[in-house]
Every structure is written in C-alpha cells, then in structure tokens.
Amino acid sequence: MELKGKTILITGGAAGIGLEATKQFLANGAKVIITGRNQAKLDAVKKSYPAVTTIQSDVADAKDAQLLFDQVTKLGGIDILYNNAGVMSGPLNLGIASPKHLESAENEVNINYLGVIRLNNLFIDMLKSRKESAIINTASLLSYVPFNLAPTYSATKAAIHSYTITLRDHLQILNSKVKVFELLPPVVATGMTENLETKGIRPEKLVNALIAGIKKNKYTIRVGDAKLLYVFSRIAPKLIYRMVNPANNTRLLK
C-alpha cells in the first residue's frame, strides 16, 4: 500500500505509539490527523509538528465520535483509519469485591473495543469510496495469552483480534477494497507499561514494523515477542500462560 499522499486519522495520537506513528507517517509523505482527550498534549504535538491536524475527541463518547466524523469530512476525509487509542487499568484482585472492578472494566471495553467499532462504523463508507484505503486495528500479544494483572485489557485485545479477522472477511465478501491491518505488539515502552517489570521495545521499532507491513500489504503484523508467543501458545498453552503470569505476579495484587 502506498502511504505518500494518503490522509490518516490516528486515535490517541498525542503520546506513546500514536505519537511515534504520527512522526513516521509524516516522514512517509502522509497527511496526519490525530485525536486525543488531553488538549495540552495535542497542542504540544501541533507545536512540534505544525503539519498535523489535531482534534480533541474521546472514542468512548458517541457524540464526540460523530463530531469527529463531521470535522474530518469537512477536511476532505481520510484514506486510513488507525484505531490506536487504548487504556489499561492497574492491577485488580478479582477475588475481592469492589465496584472499581466493574468501573475499570466498563471503561476499558468502551475505549479499547467499542471505540474501535464506533469509529469503523462511522468511517467505513468514506473508506469504501477511496481508491485505496485501510483500517488499522491495534491488538496485542495478550490477544493470545491473557495477563492476570490486566484481565479486561487482555479480553478487549482478544476481542479486537477476533473482530479484525471477521471485519476483513466481511469486507472481502462484499468485494470491498478496504484493507484491514492488525498490529500485534509485544510490551512497548510507553507510559501505559512503565510500571511493569517486563522491559518493552521502543515505539520506533514497533511503528517501523507497522509501516513496513502496510507497504507490503501484510495484513497481520506481529512484532517481537508476539511472533513467538503466537506459535508457542498454540503448542503449549499452559506453559506459555505461566511464563506470562509467573507466581510472583500475585505480590502485586496485595
């Protein structure tokens, strides 16, 4: 897929993976629109990269999503929708009753999963109208093996994995030219993972792999440990689960 001259919308584009993607898509000649909930962070990106269009928007809010669609339409539309926004709650002890469990789970599901469907539904006809277009959904190595300190986050990424496969299949059945890419990162060194003991790869490496995959029309893009985890989780699922979730994880729940 050619990136030069394309317009891409990146949700959660003001920090972490989204910010790195903003930089690299610009470097590849794309026009970039980013969203985020924090206006100060958006302003900082705009100051550093004046060519970027920033729109404050929350993917979990249906009204925000509609306003975003309307604004993007006025700007001339997009060729690529990159569903990057995501949140992960802190460690939850599921064995202790607490309303915070449900609140955190609802928030993660609404942003990580329903937010993707919400935007895809709004933009799909626009993308279908383009000569060459794509949707990028961010899953995770946790799509294959859950992390017991982030149960709902793991569940939302497993849901995104299944949803992405079926979305791609449905569009092919409809003879649509919209390409559907799935990015499956390992742990990435961002603010979301700074409290984890596992050392993550740098966002630059992840986005390099993403862009290389898009250019080659590689629809499933597994990066780093996600490649090995995919293979071995099918061969020895119990062993891999224990490797991802060692017994000393439990101390973080206390």
**pLDDT averages per 10-residue partition of the chain, 254 residues:** 97 94 97 97 97 97 97 98 91 67 91 97 98 96 87 94 97 96 83 57 92 97 83 83 76 50
Q: d(Cα 223, Cα 22) in Å, to the nearest integer?
A: 19
Residue 254 pLDDT: 47
Residue 231 pLDDT: 79
Query: What domains are there in the chain, each with its CATH number?
Result: 7-253 (3.40.50.720)
Residue 188 pLDDT: 73
Query: Residue 48: is it exposed, middle or buried by C-beta count within 10 angstroms (0-12/13-18/19+)?
Result: exposed
Residue 148 pLDDT: 85
User: Measured between alpha carbons, how far is residue 172 from residues 125, 127, 176, 179, 242 in Å?
Assistant: 15, 14, 6, 9, 38
- Catalytic residues, by residue number, are 153
Longest alpha-carbon distance in the chain: 54
Q: How many residues does the chain have?
A: 254
